[in-house]
Chains A and B, each alone.
Chain A
Amino acid sequence: MENNEKFSLSIEHFQTWIVIKIQGYLDAHTSPILENTISDAIKNDENQIIVDFEHLDYISSAGFGVFMEFIEEVREKEGDIVLVKMSDKIHKLFELLGFTYLFKIYTTISEIK
Chain B
Amino acid sequence: MISKQDIFSLIQDRKKLLFAIIIALLIKLIGDFAFYYFFGAFAFDKNIIWKFTTTIIITILIIAYFSLVVKPKVEKFDNLFVDKFINDIKNLAIIFAVGVGLLWLTPNTQKLLNEQEIPYNLIVQLFGWYFVVLSFLTARYFLRWVNVLKNSRTLKYLEFSKWAIIFVLGNIFVVKTLNYYFDIGIIVNILDTLQIFLYIYTFIVSYKLASDNNWLRYLNKSQKRQFNYLLSLTIIMASIILASTSGNLRASTDLIFPNIKDFVIYVIVVIVGFQINLIFQNRTSNKEELDQGTLTISALDRFNKYILKSDILDNTELLKKFISSLNEVIQIDFSWSESYFVEGKPSIITMNGVEEKFYNFLTNSPNYQSTLNNASNTIVIAGLYELGLNLKYNNYRKSIIIIPIFQGNLKTSTIIIGRNKEYAFSIGEVQIINTFVTNFAVAIQNNKLMQEAIEKQRYQFELNLAQSIQRKIVPENLPDLKNYSIAGKSIPANELGGDYFDFVYLRNKKPVILIADVSGKGVSAALYMAELKGIIISIVKYVDDIKELVLQLNDILVKNTEKQIFITLSAISINDDNGEVCYIRAGHTPLLVKQNGIIQQISPKGMALGLVGGKVFEENLEVKKLTLKSNDFCFAFTDGLSEMRNTENDEFGLFRIGDILQNSNFNDAKNVLDIIIEESNKFKKNRQLVDDLTIMSLMFKHRE
**Using a CB–CB distance below 8 Å, which chain A residues touch chain B?**
28, 60-62, 64-66, 68-69, 72, 96-99, 101-102
Contacts and interface: CB of A to CB of B under 8 A. Distances in A.
A28 B520 contact: yes
Contacts of A66: 564
Nearest to B522: A28
Contacts of A99: 607-608, 611
A101 B587 CA distance: 11
A96 B589 contact: yes
Contacts of B521: 28, 62
B563 A61 contact: no
A61 B517 contact: yes
Contacts of B603: 96
B697 interface: no
Contacts of A65: 519-520, 563-566
Given A98-B587, A98-B607, A69 B519 contact: no
A111 B368 CA distance: 74
A96 B588 contact: yes
A72 B587 CA distance: 20
A61 B589 CA distance: 12
Interface string B559-597: 000111110100000000000000000111110000000
A68 B587 contact: no
B282 to A, nearest CB: 61
Nearest to A31: B564
A64 B566 contact: yes
A96 B590 contact: yes
B606 interface: yes
B119 to A, nearest CB: 80
Contacts of A68: 563-564, 566, 611
Nearest to B587: A97
Given A97-B607, A101-B607, A72 B563 contact: yes
Interface string B632-662: 0000000000000000000000000000000
A102 B615 CA distance: 12
A100 to B, nearest CB: 9
A65 B603 CA distance: 22
Contacts of B612: 102
Contacts of B568: 61, 96-97
Contacts of A60: 691
Question: Interface of chain B, helix or strand or loop or mixed?
Answer: loop
B43 interface: no
Interface string B457-473: 00000000000000000
A102 B611 contact: yes
Contact of A61 (B520, B586, B616, B620): B520
Contacts of A101: 607, 616, 620
A61 B566 contact: yes
B657 to A, nearest CB: 15
12 contacts: A62-B564, A65-B519, A68-B563, A68-B564, A69-B562, A96-B588, A97-B587, A97-B607, A98-B587, A98-B606, A101-B616, A102-B611
B20 to A, nearest CB: 62
A98 B564 contact: no
A45 B587 CA distance: 32
B564 A69 contact: yes
A96 B605 CA distance: 8
B154 to A, nearest CB: 58
Top 5 closest A-B pairs, CB basis?
Answer: A98-B607, A65-B564, A61-B519, A97-B587, A69-B564
B553 to A, nearest CB: 14
Contacts of B590: 96
Contacts of B588: 96
A97 B563 contact: no
A61 B519 CA distance: 5
A87 to B, nearest CB: 14
Given A62-B519, A101-B620, 4 more contacts: A64-B566, A65-B566, A68-B563, A98-B620
A28 B518 CA distance: 13
A97 B608 contact: yes
Interface string B208-224: 00000000000000000
Contacts of B691: 60
Given A61-B520, A68-B563, A68-B611, A96 B587 contact: yes
Interface in B514-546: 517-521
Contacts of B586: 98
Nearest to A69: B564
Contacts of B608: 97-99
A48 B517 CA distance: 31
Nearest to B621: A98
Nearest to B525: A61
Contacts of A102: 607, 611-612, 616
The residue in A61, A72, A102 that gathers the most chain B C-beta atoms within 10 A of its C-beta is: A61
A60 B520 CA distance: 8
A7 B245 CA distance: 90
B516 to A, nearest CB: 12
Q: Pick from B588, B608, B616 the residue with the most CB of A within 10 Å.
A: B608
Contacts of B589: 96
Task: Output the residue of B518, B587, B606, B612 with the most chain A CB within 10 A.
Answer: B587
B520 A98 contact: no
B335 to A, nearest CB: 46
A72 B612 CA distance: 10
Nearest to B521: A28
A97 B603 CA distance: 11
B601 to A, nearest CB: 11
A96 B612 CA distance: 15
Nearest to B608: A97
B607 to A, nearest CB: 3
A69 B616 CA distance: 18
Contacts of A69: 562-564
Contact of B611 (A28, A62, A96, A98): A98
A102 B568 CA distance: 15
Contacts of A64: 519, 566
A97 B638 CA distance: 12
A98 B620 CA distance: 8
Contacts of A96: 568, 587-590, 603
B560 to A, nearest CB: 15
B555 to A, nearest CB: 16
Contacts of B564: 62, 65-66, 68-69
A98 B605 CA distance: 8
A13 to B, nearest CB: 26
A64 B607 CA distance: 13
Interface string B327-371: 000000000000000000000000000000000000000000000
